[in-house]
Structure 1
Amino acid sequence: MTPVATPTTARLHRRRRWLALLFTMVTAAGSIVFAGLAIRLDADLGEQRLDGELRRVTSTVTRLIEYDGTLITAFVSEDELNTRCPQFAILPGDADGFTGHFSQQSCVPLDPALLASLAAEAVRTGRLLNGYVRATGGELVRVGAEPFRNSQGQYIGAVVAAVDAGPERDRHNRVLLFAVAGCVLLVGAVGVAGHLLSGWALRPAAAALEQQEVLLADTAHDLRTPVAALRALAETALEHPTQRADLLPRTVQLAVRMGSIIDGLLVRARLAAGVEQLAIQPVWLDQLVTTMVEETPTDGAQVTVTAAPTKVDVDPVLMQRAVGNLLNNALRHGRRPGDSAIVHITVAGGRLMVADHGPGIDAAMAQEKFDRFNSGGGSNGLGLSIVRWVAQAHGGVLRVYNAEEGGAIFELVLPTSDS
């Protein structure tokens, strides 16, 4: 049976969605910040790699050149840097300076005027300059300009090196794409995980609320009939004082029935909520069942017991209730119209079997009937549901099936005691 969503459980489900959304948003914000920092760090590292490559060229060339009024580049021309990328140029700081020198390898096409302006800026500031420029074909180029001095310590020119930044930019774009895709996947995974975790965290509360609401509904349902009957008896007694002697025993019976219903509901609620503290101890199940049969009024029913010594680890109080409910269910419904009930109980090997000669029970509907607290004969009591809860609380199980010769058989299986 699909549970019906109540306002309380609906609020819990909305809170679950809000918790999952909040968890996802916090994770997304953290992921974006982290990804942004990682992307920025990767860009800085890429620039440092390019600048390191440029500095290797400019620092080497500045050590190889000589200037004694005339620029001497003999050693530069002989060095392998002159024929490799990155390309470089040795340029004066002003238009009236020495004649410049360009490396033999042209890796990217650059405007000589642009290189001259970079050299002039490096000489003017007296420090190493790095930056991005555009080649004549529009390519992105990383440049570095390192000034050098003459023998009097004056800055007179600069070595300007250039390297194609396209490969590094493409690598960084791949890192950027990977980071964005990773963030999207992470946020999606966190969203799913947050939804599952919030559901897992709120499931006990939702289950408890659903059980509480079902319990309240069942309490109202089970008490409605005896309360109405009790009111009718009271009104009849008020209107007809001469009938009070006949009505009083029926009133007491109804009160006892209501007390039994409330007691059963409380036991079921404590078991469902997990607050019932089981006082587990070894119990002779055969003796307990025999005593219960002897103390239970049968009202003319035929009850037989076949028992072998069987010790189980159970809570004696709860087990008495479970046995009593099975016995009362058989006495009430284990009969055919016009006949007295015939009940046979078997105890052996940690199993209690209660067989009757009633109309039987639909095994396919047994689980639903237990959940809705209905017996096979149409009773609205909680007897069989309590038995099932007691069995589950002890790690056992309650089974029901029909005998070939007719009637229902309820089998309660419990863990046997080792002591």
Structure 2
Amino acid sequence: MTTSSAQLRRLQTADRLRALRITMVVVFTAFSLAGLTGMALVGITVDHHQREKALLSDLRITSGAVLSLIYREAGTLRMTGVADAIGTRATGVYVFEKRGDELGAALARPGRTVGVPTIRLEAAARTSMGNKMEVIGKVTASDGTMQQMLSVPFSLANLAHPAGAVVVTIDAQASVAAQRSLAFALFGGSVAFSLFLAAAGYYLARRSTRAVELALSQQERFLADAAHELRTPLTAIRMHAEAAIQPASQHQALRKVIHAVDRLTWSVEALLTRAKLIAGTRPVQAQDFRLDQLVSEILSESGLPPHRVVADLPATVCHGDPAVLRIAIRNLVENAIGHGAVGDEPAHLEVMVGPDEVTIRDHGPGLGGRADVRERFASGSALGTGLGLSIVDWAIQLHKGQLELGDHPGGGTIARIRIGSRQRGDLHHSQTK
């Protein structure tokens, strides 16, 4: 897998995760907004009914007081005491009397409300008289404001049919304004809270998909590392196998084939070990082991000749996972071999083991003041060697250690691994950078 194709796949993965997060946020926000809007509508409806109920209660009290004072004397409708009953109430009182087939206004007292033209109240009075029941509605006052209205029919002695109707009104503007304010507050609050939930939902979506993103990133990184790491030995095996067809170069070509197969075997083992640790199917197997013996085995397996190595390997006991540390140390040794040579000369390495540390120095051209010294080890780069420094960092992180890389004052490059963990069970489990 080339670097560009790996980057393309990462972009595609990022786009898919971004689309998933947006979908989750949109669905979450839509359901939240629908629920909040529904609750707001219920609240507004209940408030509307409660306010109308309060207004009608005031109107019924006033109409009841007026009805108790209406009587007929000598054929004339009397309303003695009605004015005192109305007093300073905020309700307007209008009394309509049936005069033959006509309906006339016998009293019009707006009280503290704005007056309503009686012509606008006659229809409600006629309806209540015709149906012998209350009529509730809204009516427009002289100044264009809205008032709540209640029309109640009344009968007098010896009359089978209603003799008239009492219509009472009260200003509903304050109630309407309060309802509008409540509606604005509820709907505005619903929208604002939905936006807050959208932000919180996006944050939660990012947190919930972080593990998926990490898993996909690890998978893609593993595939990229595997493709790069396996391509080189497979190409070498084919090239050397073709050279082995010629009898003159058969012996040397077969030795190179064996070396390439050994490298391929180590690469596969390293990749599988890393994949198992990341997936959690293989725990970190921390134990006491001889660090000097591990380094000696790595040097013997790396096919050093004709390269030269000066090894200082005093007996050193270390605590950690030898399989993981083998990956890191061998990676640095092979990089030192690959980059420690000058021209056609073999590489010259110095390998030293100390308490919880391994130092590898080559006598090559060094890092040359490169801004990113880790570029030399980056997978997929022209200067890289496969699994790269990322796997070294990963292995050292598992051991709470440190990797130092730089130019040696005497020339060449020096790499030092420090292993931080000294206690059993004190190692991190699968992590990656």
The TM-score with structure 2 as length reference comes to 0.79
Structure 2 Cα separation of the partners of residues 166 and 143 of structure 1: 13
Structure 1 gap segments, 5+ residues each? none
Verify: 1:197 aligned to 2:204, yes or no: yes
Compute the RMSD of aligned alpha carbons. Answer: 3.5
Match of 1:288 in 2: 290
Structure 2 Cα separation of the partners of residues 227 and 309 of structure 1: 37
Match of 2:429 in 1: none
**Does the residue aligned with 1:414 lie in a helix, a strand or coil?**
coil
**Does the residue aligned with 2:357 lie in a helix, a strand or coil?**
strand
Amino acid at match of 1:132: K
Amino acid at match of 2:354: T
Verify: 1:255 aligned to 2:261, yes or no: yes
Of the three residues 4, 7, 11, the one matched with 2:7 is: 4
Of the three residues 76, 85, 88, the one matched with 1:83 is: 88
Verify: 1:302 aligned to 2:305, yes or no: no
Of the three residues 394, 403, 423, the one matched with 1:398 is: 403
- Deviations 1:164-214, CA, capped at 9 Å, x for gaps: 222222222222222332233233333333333333333333333333334
Amino acid at match of 1:29: A
Of the three residues 325, 329, 333, the one matched with 1:319 is: 325
Structure 2 Cα separation of the partners of residues 178 and 246 of structure 1: 87
Structure 2 Cα separation of the partners of residues 397 and 156 of structure 1: 104
Written as runs of structure 1 = structure 2, the 5 A alignment for 1:19-168 is: 19-67=24-72, 70-79=76-85, 81-93=86-98, 100-103=106-109, 105=111, 107-151=113-157, 154=160, 155-168=162-175
Structure 2 Cα separation of the partners of residues 332 and 119 of structure 1: 107
Structure 2 Cα separation of the partners of residues 369 and 50 of structure 1: 84
Amino acid at match of 2:163: I
Of 9-18 and 107-116, the range deviating more from structure 2: 9-18
- Deviations 1:246-281, CA, capped at 9 Å, x for gaps: 32111111111122222223333344x433432444
Of the three residues 411, 422, 432, the one matched with 1:416 is: 422
Match of 1:352 in 2: 357
Verify: 1:182 aligned to 2:184, yes or no: no
Relative distance call for 1:400 and 1:74 in structure 2 (3 A) is farther
Give the deviation of 1:64 after TM superposition: 4.2
**Does the residue aligned with 2:147 lie in a helix, a strand or coil?**
strand
Relative distance call for 1:339 and 1:215 in structure 2 (3 A) is closer
Match of 2:22 in 1: 17
Give the deviation of 1:121 after TM superposition: 1.9
Relative distance call for 1:101 and 1:226 in structure 2 (3 A) is same
CA contact (8 A) 2:70 2:77 kept: yes
Structure 1 Cα separation of the partners of residues 105 and 388 of structure 2: 110
Structure 2 Cα separation of the partners of residues 368 and 268 of structure 1: 21
Relative distance call for 1:29 and 1:104 in structure 2 (3 A) is closer
Relative distance call for 1:116 and 1:309 in structure 2 (3 A) is same
CA contact (8 A) 1:345 1:354 kept: yes
Relative distance call for 1:35 and 1:396 in structure 2 (3 A) is farther
Relative distance call for 1:343 and 1:245 in structure 2 (3 A) is closer
Relative distance call for 1:17 and 1:78 in structure 2 (3 A) is closer
Structure 1 Cα separation of the partners of residues 374 and 354 of structure 2: 23
Match of 2:431 in 1: none
Match of 2:250 in 1: 244
Structure 2 gap segments, 5+ residues each? 426-433
The TM-score with structure 1 as length reference comes to 0.81
**Does the residue aligned with 1:248 lie in a helix, a strand or coil?**
helix
Q: Identity percentage over the alignment?
A: 25
Match of 1:234 in 2: 241
- Deviations 1:139-172, CA, capped at 9 Å, x for gaps: 2111112233434585433321111222222222
CA contact (8 A) 1:62 1:148 kept: yes
Give the deviation of 1:417 after TM superposition: 0.9
Amino acid at match of 1:274: A
Structure 2 Cα separation of the partners of residues 329 and 99 of structure 1: 110
Query: When the two structures are aligned, how many residues end up with a matched partner?
Result: 406
